[in-house]
Amino acid sequence: MAAAEPGVSVPHPDLPGTMPDLPVPTLRDFRRDFSLSAALAGLVAVVVSYSSNIGLFVAVFAAGHYSHAQAVSAITAMYLGMAVIGALLSWRYRAPVIIGWISAGLAILVQDSGRFTVPEIVGALLASAVVLTVLGYSGLYERLTRRIPVPLTAALLAGVLLPFVLRGVAVAPSLPGVVVPMLFTYAGLRAFTPRYAVLGVLLVGVAASALTGSLHPLPAGSRVWGSLQALTPAFSPLAWLSLSLPITVLALASQHLPGVAILRLSGYPNVPASPIVGGTGLLALPLAVFGSIGIALAAITAAICTGPEAHPDVRRRYVAGVMCAFWYALLGVFGGAVIVSAGALPLPMIQALAGLALLGTVQNAVIASFAEAKWRESAALTLLVTASGLSLWGLSSPLWGLIVGGLSIGLGSLRVWRSK
């Protein structure tokens, strides 16, 4: 068999169009590899992720009683941090490594952060970042994720997000002139252009809010620039159990695991998982001090930058990852504008946007929860308890969901073992 020519992609035997091992690109390489399609893919990924979760961010800051300055600091730190680590990883591995916030973590914070002070929330986010750093750099990440049944984590994810989806529809009577057009827009765009459904819903929601006079006036003297404010963490064992533990589990199971799988299936089997998990956890430590939500490998929006839509040549798609980081950095610089503009939107519109944006994720999670017959009862218990909002002895429903589901799996395994 003849040797491949230098610089020519040698396909993996199982993955057509696989990325070969290439050196870290130079600036000259980047200028040569740059393409408008890759830059647009990065922009679309940022716009979709922003529009899908801005409602949850507003809800987190309201539930956690963040001041305006603390909310701006959290947004600024998070976007700048994701820009730095995303650009570095994409450049280092010459692959479109897309970083995002822990989406399910936002839902957990909305549900339970009201019971804790902002310093305790920061302490819980720090604890989660420490665990993710250790799991990543120690190599325990892959061993741990293999031991957690996929249906259990899928049911946990579905249970965390389902109340937000239901609330997004239930608010329609309070602002029908805005929410009803959003519902029909989502249904129509999902049928024809599903990738842009959430963006379309956001635009229709803003337009309908303006036409019905539902927009709130912008505060006088609002600043558009981002800013950072250091927060002193407080460490609460109850916050660790209620916030850190479920956020960490969901970061591993609902983002890092599928995110790595997307990279592998898109032709990047040589991108190592451990440095990504450890690196995002390590960077999340200083970011948490400024209020940032935890960050992890993106899963849903990653596919926008890793597929052929970004560029037909697998070797040039890393540009989409770098450009995604660039657009994130812009949002960080204008962090004040992000918060102020979101505050102008009516609450029912934000709740509807959040619910519709999460619907696809909930649907996939429910399907994965009940895909295997032997896990169905345990998954159903996990989903039911988590979605119920149960709070007992200071422990939140996601933790109770994990406990009840894990106990069900353990007892079922014991029964099978004793019957042999």
Q: Is the pLDDT of residue 184 over 50?
A: yes
pLDDT band at 219 (very low <50, low <70, confident <90, very high): low
Q: What pLDDT is attached to residue 222?
A: 64
Q: Is the pLDDT of residue 178 over 70?
A: yes
Residues in CB range of 47: below 8 A, 6 or more apart: 199
pLDDT tens for 83-95 read 999 999 999 999 9
pLDDT tens for 371-385 read 777 778 888 888 888
pLDDT band at 5 (very low <50, low <70, confident <90, very high): very low
Q: What pLDDT is attached to residue 19?
A: 57
Phi–psi pair at 392, nearest 5 degrees: -140, 130
Q: Is the pLDDT of residue 13 over 50?
A: no
Contact in structure between 297 and 260 (CB atoms under 8 Å): yes
Q: What pLDDT is attached to residue 393?
A: 65
392: which DSSP letter?
Answer: B
Higher confidence at residue 395 or residue 81? 81
Percentage of the chain with pLDDT > 90?
21
d(CA 154, CA 2): 46
* pLDDT mean over 377-403: 76
Q: Is the pLDDT of residue 410 over 80?
A: no
Q: Is the pLDDT of residue 279 over 80?
A: yes
Phi–psi pair at 7, nearest 5 degrees: 85, 0
Q: What pLDDT is attached to residue 392?
A: 67
pTM equals: 0.72
Of the candidate ranges 63-72, 201-210, 342-351, the one whose mean pLDDT is the lowest: 342-351
